[in-house]
Structures are given as structure tokens and as C-alpha cells.
Amino acid sequence: MDGVTPVSAPAARMPAAALAVIAAGVSAALHLGKLPPAVPALQATLGIGLVEAGFLLSLVQAAGMTLGLMVGLAADSIGLRRSMLIGLFVVTLASVGGGCVVPGPNAVPLLMVSRALEGVGFLLVVMPAPGLIRAVVPVGVEKLALGFWGAYMPLGVALALLLGPLLIASLGWQGWWWALSAVSAGAFFWVWRTVPADRTRASAARTTTTTSTTARTAVPGSARWTTRLGDTVRASGPRRVSLAFAVYSSQWMAVIGFLPAIYTEAGVPSGWNAVLTALAAAMNIVGNLVGGRLLQRGVAPAVLLRCGFVTMALGGIAAFAQWGYGADAVALPPAVRYAAVCLFSLGGGVVPATLFMLAVRLAPGPATVSTTVGMMQQASALGQFLAPPVVAWLAHRVGGWQWTWAVTLACSAVGIVLAARLATVRPSMSVA
């Protein structure tokens, strides 16, 4: 188990630079989550079909699935802050352009191009974030700060699900696109103003006894990119962290992503449908924050990972399992099943908080942190690309969602095994 590092009151406060990095991630995640609430409006104004809507939804994941590792490698090469700023600029510009699409034969292709660019911009924003956070936070606060960072995705998705219908109703889907471009533009200027410029510095002095600590700054990679790529791919730590992130994110996205369809089939009104889905997604934020706090208090990462995956397994079973067949099938009451979904999301939240910390710790060196996160993102995108179709295929074959728990249980079982394996990996870098 990790030792508990005393943190003074001034050091425990995260600086504005770390908050800016986290806000940049949330602003990028908003763009990922902005499409689902806009699908009806896009169908009405642009005439897109469900298949085209599905492509628009999956394009971002396709970018992560194919480019995650290379974009992470590029972030380590060009500098962490510079990568994030470029990504925010690309996301902002792509969203502005997407909002300018008008009905016509080229509308869907142009919207797809803008979504693909948003996917690349998203990667450029999130890859360098863990390394940047480690660089700018005071000594001893990395774990807590990375716990906050782990919540960027569920927070962005939950906000998009909640705010999207309201803003689309008043501004139209184009106004929704432009409003989020303003958010990412604001994040760009916040990062530009508060995050220190990329440059090589000596490691800051580490201390646990003084009330004033010196933040570390990122060291851009100076080794050849082929060397950094090879070091990352060959190291067992990044591979195991990436696979663990894949089995976590794939099942979380499959369950949360299909909640609207599940509740629609159950006759839940659309307004309540959006609120219930957003609340379930938001529970993941709480899990991330709790995970960061527990890591800061010295709880071993392997313990948190096991607890997270066990909770997801039990929550998935309680939420979806039925006993019996046909008309005689029995399941838990709807309120209990929804509580199980929230528990599934809450317990799972400790997993990304822990894995982001391990990504920093188990990267082969300071110059490969973003490359390691890129490998994580690529594995995660692959899992999110494959798991929802598997769950949908299973639901189609059995005539309902009652066997979804089998998929979540299988993913959680792999995660529990990986947690034990990660406990044996020797850290490459020290994280207080």
C-alpha cells in the first residue's frame, strides 16, 4: 500500500493551471456528448437517417481507435501545453464550421468532416492532460488532482445530456454547436493564460515538511519518437493499464449509452429519460472524486481497481438480470434496478481515477506520459466501439436487455485479473 504523504493546507489547493486543464477536458467532452440530444433536430432539419446518425456518433470513437497512440506520441513531441491549445483550437473551429452546415446534398458529409476534426481535437486535448496536471500541481496532490481529471468525461457527457435539449429548443442545433464552440474557446484562453509554457526544467525539489511547495513542469520528449513509441509499447504497465481502461469504458458506455433506449421502451417520458440518464452518468463523477481522495489517503491502486470492477459486476447483475423465462420472468423492482445502474456508474468511477494515476506512474519515462495515455485512449475507443454493438446484438437475440449483465460481468472479470497484474508492475516514476 502506498504511504500517506502529508499535504499542507496551501499545497492541498489545486492551482488555477490544473483547474484550467480539467476545464479543457470537460469542454472537449461536451463536444463528444453534444450529438445525442441533437439527433432529432438533425433528422428534422438536415434529413439524416439513423444510420448516418450512428456514423456521426461513432466518428469520434473511430478517431480515438485509429489515432490515439500516434496523437499521444505527437503530444509528447510538440509539448503538452502546445498540444492542448492546438486541440482546443481545432475543436472550436470544427464546431463553428459544423454549426454553419445548411440543408443540402453536402450537409451530411460536411457534418461528418467536422465531427472527425472534433475527434482529432479531442485527442489532442486529453492526451497531454495527465502529464500537464502532474507538472503544475503542488507536490503531494497528484493523486487527488488526477481523480478530478478522471471525471472530465462523465461530467462533460452529463452536462451535454442535461443542457442540450434546453439549448436546442431555444437556439436550434446550430446554436448548440456554436455555444459549445464558445465554451472550448474560453477553455483555450484559460489554458493559454494560466498553464506554463512548455520547456525543459530540472525536476523540482520534493518535500513533505514545508508549507510551500514547488510545482513540477513537464519535460517535453527529446528522444526520437520511434524510441518513445517502442519503449511504451514494450512496457507491460502501459499495456495492462490500457486494457483495464478498455474493459471499464466499454461496459460503462454500453450501459449508459443504451439507457435512453431502455427507458423509452419501458415507457419513461422523454423529460425524465434525459434526467435519469444524466444522473446515472453524473454518479461516475462522484466515483472519480472519491477515488482520487482515497488514492491521496494511501489506499493501494490495486484495491481500488478490484473494488471498482466488483461493484460494476454486481451493479450490472442487479440492474439487468432476470430469473425465469417469458411471462414468468422476474426482475428486481424498477427503482432498485435504477439504483443498481447508479451504483454501477458510481463504483466504476474509481477505476479511471486510479488508471490515470497509474498511467503517469507506469509510463516508461516523463517523455512518454502522453504516449501512454494515447495507448489508453486507443484501447478505450476500441472497447467503446465494439461493446455497444455486442450488447445491442445480444439484446436483439434474446428479445430484451436481460442478458446485458453477462457482458458487464465478463468485462469486470478481466478488470479484476488486470488489477492483480498491475499490482506486480514496478513503477517507472514516483508519484507522491
- Whether the per-residue pLDDT at 178 is higher than 90: the answer is yes
360-364 mean pLDDT:
82
- 186 shares its domain with 310: no
Q: Is the pLDDT of residue 6 over 70?
A: no
| Selection from 89, 361, 131 nearest residue 237 by Cα | 361
Residue 421 inside a domain? The answer is yes
- CA-nearest of 119, 121, 102, 115 to 52 is 115
- The answer on 283 and 140 residing in a single domain is no
Q: Give tens-digit pLDDT for 276-333.
A: 888 888 899 899 889 888 988 889 999 999 999 999 999 999 999 888 666 566 788 8
Cell of 417: 485479473
Residue 432 lies in a domain: no
Considering the domain architecture, whether residues 164 and 275 belong to the same structural domain is answered as no
Domain span at residue 406 reads 236-426
> What are the residues facing 330 on neighbouring strands?
323
Instruction: Report percent pLDDT > 70 for the chain.
Output: 86
Is 50 exceeded by the pLDDT of residue 211?
no
Residue found by looking up cell 463528444 in the block: 32
CA-CA distances (angstroms) from residue 77 to 84, 88, 248, 363? Answer: 12, 18, 29, 15
Per-residue pLDDT band at 51 (split at 50, 70, 90): low
Q: Taking residues 370-381, what's their average pLDDT?
A: 82
Q: How many domains does the chain have?
A: 2
Q: What is the pLDDT of residue 129?
A: 87
Last residue of a domain, one of 172, 196, 220: 196
**Are 162 and 296 part of one and the same domain?**
no
pTM flag (> 0.85): no
- CATH code, 77: 1.20.1250.20
HEC profile for 56-112? HHHHHHHHHHHHHHHHHHHHHHHCHHHHHHHHHHHHHHHHHHHHCCCCCCCHHHHHH
For the four alpha carbons of 153, 157, 158 and 164, in that order, the dihedral sign comes to positive
pLDDT in tens, 225-260: 677 777 777 888 888 999 999 999 889 888 887 787
Identify any residues that bridge with 323 across adjacent strands, giving them in sequence order.
Answer: 330
